Structure 1
Amino acid sequence: MKTAKKHWIYLLLIVAPLVIAFVSLFIGRYPVYLTEVTQILWCKVTTAVCDLPYIHQTVVWEIRLPRVILGSMVGGCLAVSGAAFQGLFRNPLVSSGILGVSAGAGFGAALAIILFNSIVSTYSFAFAFGVLAVVLSYLISRVYNTTPTIMLVLGGVIVSSVFSALISLAKYLADPVDQLPAIVFWLMGSLASARFRDIAIAGIPMLVGTAGLLAIRWRINVLSMGDKEAHALGINTALNKGLVIACATLATAGAVCVSGIVGWVGLVIPHIGRMLVGNDNRVLIPASFSLGACFLVLVDDLGRIMTGSEIPLGILTALVGGPFFVYLLKKTKGGGW
């Protein structure tokens, strides 16, 4: 009975993202019907001539579809990175931004908006500074030529604090008419400007990072047992920690550079995954990707239809993640893994 239940859960995790993505193509202020969406997708894939109005094709193919795809990738990458870090640090209260990648990306984006005010430079600076923040956190943790998890966390706290201060400085120096609103909006997170170009730019680091975590997910099980146990089983802890951190950083930085700062996904989703499939990272990592993709696309749909203007993703994910975090603190009594 338990095996059959697991099979149904696995099937649901495979099918749910596809169904939610398809349904999301209908959601929005401009009405498009099932037959129209199906015909547009079929014509675009087969390069056949589509006799539907051009505005219908634009809404479905150029606005909603890239937004759904990018939302699925961003949510999945943040959830996978959060699950990997929770296993690595043996602490259910850490998230994908624990090593400062979100704060670093935020400062990079703010700096690019002030200096260049172009989309490509914003993506590039956000990605570069997100990676730089994690590198600095790792270097701080190597003060004593070791890489204990507590030093990694402390390094992340220090770097996040510094980059948060730099973000505040950038907002203080920014032009209050044009630059400051752009910085604030970016920091709140959004997929409103998602295009296939964004998928092409950020897709490579997201796919590389996620694929790397999927490939070494069994090693996260060993690392979560502790350094001594991992050494006893023949695992090079320093090397494998570096691999996990590098892959999670690529996935998170790639996601954050195109979506802005979207919090709580990397904290909440892995716990929902554990409730469904357990603690085995061989199953939890892919399950987290599926759940994260579903969650962020649904939240984005909600943000598009709740009010006349879109609600930023960071606001909605915080409204969901905050109460769940309180529940988690109560359940774990503020403890660790």
Structure 2
Amino acid sequence: MSTTTETASKATPQESTEANPEANPTGAPVATLAAKNERRRSLFTSSYPVIMLIALAILLGVTYLSLITGRYPVELDELFRILGKNWFGMDLKVYKPAENMLLTVRIPRLLAAGLIGAALAIAGATFQAVFRNPLVSPYLLGVSQGASVGAASAILLGVGTSIAIQGSALAGGLAAVLLTVSIPRLLKNQSTLMLVLSGVIVGGFGTAALGALKFIANPETQLAQIVFWQMGSLQDVRAEALTQFALVAVPCILLLLAMRWRINILSLGDNEARTLGINLTRTRGITILLATLVTATSVCIGGPISWVGLVIPHLCRLLVGSDTTKLMPLSVLMGASFMMFVDTLARSLTSAEVPLSVLTGFIGTPLYVALLLFGKVRVK
């Protein structure tokens, strides 16, 4: 099955030009024609700085909304007093319970949600560019299933503290990806297709292993904890876990942004990348490693949150096209805003916390359908 995306994929203009030489009467390079066609397809490519400013304004607005909204609302003047006292050393009188809630719960959780959203969005954009498939998600290589098995194992072993679960989830996710990468090497076939198939194999095995762990789990205690973790939540995130997460996620995000020009060349295809002097094996390996690492750390903190790494890159691609030099920075801002908004809903809608994947599914599914209809994605 092949996928053609008029608004997203660079494969379509390349394939049509290669298959029909008359479509390129000027003799211009395929990459140049693809770029021109992509600029025509995107809605606001010429207004990229304006789009970035709007995305930044949305991020700041969602940040403010998240800080004051919740089961315990915080007034604007109280928020400023708390931030002024703790961040700028000002001698201000504050309401102590509100101060404790903001500093120990709400702000760490807000930052974690923003980082997770940015990480999953840029990982999704990276995988979609590297594999030249707009239907690829950050969980392609089995990191979600591996992390779920690791977290479930920690719960069954009775070390159900948040730090232990996060560490086990990270180890399980990285082990799954390592196994996925090792299979093509063992078979001496390191093509992109074989890597994708290896991810499917490892993901299927991880799903089966997780089902076995659920079967033997205590249905009154352990099973509920496993299921809730799988649906995603940030209720246990505190400053220590956030710091550890940021030490891995932020450098990976920055490195991916620094490599976005090379990733853009990879998305043109292997032949074009070789012609432009790109070391395919090294560049593809580094980008996959960084995207996988940032995805694994995100999963270990918040669980396997669905749709973010698939929907956000599509939305950004509709706005600025498939040029990753523009797509990836916008994905970071939009992904952070989306996850911060979803987490605010999760802790505000009801007295009990709503799992994140429930909300991302309800929001992401219709949004993705709308993007497919608007972008005219066809599956042949």
TM-score range, shorter chain: over 0.9
**Residue 152 of structure 1, CA deviation:** 1.5
Deviates more, 1:137-146 or 1:163-172: 137-146
CA distance in 2, matches of 1:222, 1:77: 21
| Identity within the alignment, % | 42
Instruction: Tell me the residue number matched to 2:129.
Output: 87
Instruction: Tell me the residue number matched to 1:104.
Output: 146
Instruction: Tell me the residue number matched to 1:47.
Output: 89
SS in 1 for 2:68: coil
| Correspondent of 1:148 among 176, 188, 191 | 191
**Residue 144 of structure 1, CA deviation:** 4.5
Q: Where in structure 2 are there 5+ consecutive unaligned residues? A: 1-43
**Residue 234 of structure 1, CA deviation:** 1.5
CA distance in 1, matches of 2:371, 2:176: 27
CA distance in 1, matches of 2:369, 2:182: 32
SS in 1 for 2:304: coil
The AA in structure 2 aligned to 1:133 is A
- Residues 242/287 of structure 1: CA separation in 2 closer, same or farther (3 Å cut): same
Report if aligned partners of 2:314, 2:371 keep a CA contact under 8 Å in 1. Answer: no
Report if aligned partners of 2:170, 2:299 keep a CA contact under 8 Å in 1. Answer: yes
Q: Does 2:268 align with 1:225?
A: yes
The AA in structure 1 aligned to 2:377 is T
CA distance in 1, matches of 2:282, 2:249: 21
Q: Does 2:73 align with 1:31?
A: yes
The AA in structure 1 aligned to 2:217 is A
- Residues 143/226 of structure 1: CA separation in 2 closer, same or farther (3 Å cut): farther
The AA in structure 1 aligned to 2:86 is K
Alignment RMSD (CA, Å): 1.7
CA distance in 2, matches of 1:4, 1:323: 28
Report if aligned partners of 1:223, 1:230 keep a CA contact under 8 Å in 2. Answer: yes
| Correspondent of 1:306 among 349, 368, 380 | 349
CA distance in 1, matches of 2:294, 2:224: 27
CA distance in 2, matches of 1:288, 1:64: 24
Instruction: Tell me the residue number matched to 2:231.
Output: 188
User: After superposition, where does 1:1-337 map in structure 2 within 5 Å?
Assistant: 5-115=47-157, 116-327=159-370, 331-334=376-379
**Residue 143 of structure 1, CA deviation:** 4.3
CA-to-aligned-CA distance 1:244-281 (integer Å, 9 cap, x gap): 11100111111110101101100000011112222111
**Residue 184 of structure 1, CA deviation:** 0.8
SS in 1 for 2:74: coil
Report if aligned partners of 2:162, 2:236 keep a CA contact under 8 Å in 1. Answer: no
SS in 2 for 1:262: coil
- Residues 96/177 of structure 1: CA separation in 2 closer, same or farther (3 Å cut): same
**Residue 22 of structure 1, CA deviation:** 2.0
**Residue 15 of structure 1, CA deviation:** 2.9
CA distance in 1, matches of 2:377, 2:321: 16
- Residues 3/106 of structure 1: CA separation in 2 closer, same or farther (3 Å cut): closer
Larger radius of gyration: 2
Report if aligned partners of 1:209, 1:246 keep a CA contact under 8 Å in 2. Answer: no
The AA in structure 2 aligned to 1:86 is Q
CA distance in 2, matches of 1:329, 1:142: 36
CA-to-aligned-CA distance 1:92-144 (integer Å, 9 cap, x gap): 00111111111111111111111121222111111111111111111223345
The AA in structure 1 aligned to 2:313 is P
**Residue 303 of structure 1, CA deviation:** 1.9
CA-to-aligned-CA distance 1:140-192 (integer Å, 9 cap, x gap): 23345343221121111111111111111111122222211111111000111
**How does the TM-score come out when normalised to structure 2?**
0.84
The AA in structure 1 aligned to 2:331 is S
- Pairs aligned (count): 334
CA distance in 1, matches of 2:169, 2:297: 9
CA distance in 1, matches of 2:144, 2:212: 16
**Residue 50 of structure 1, CA deviation:** 4.5
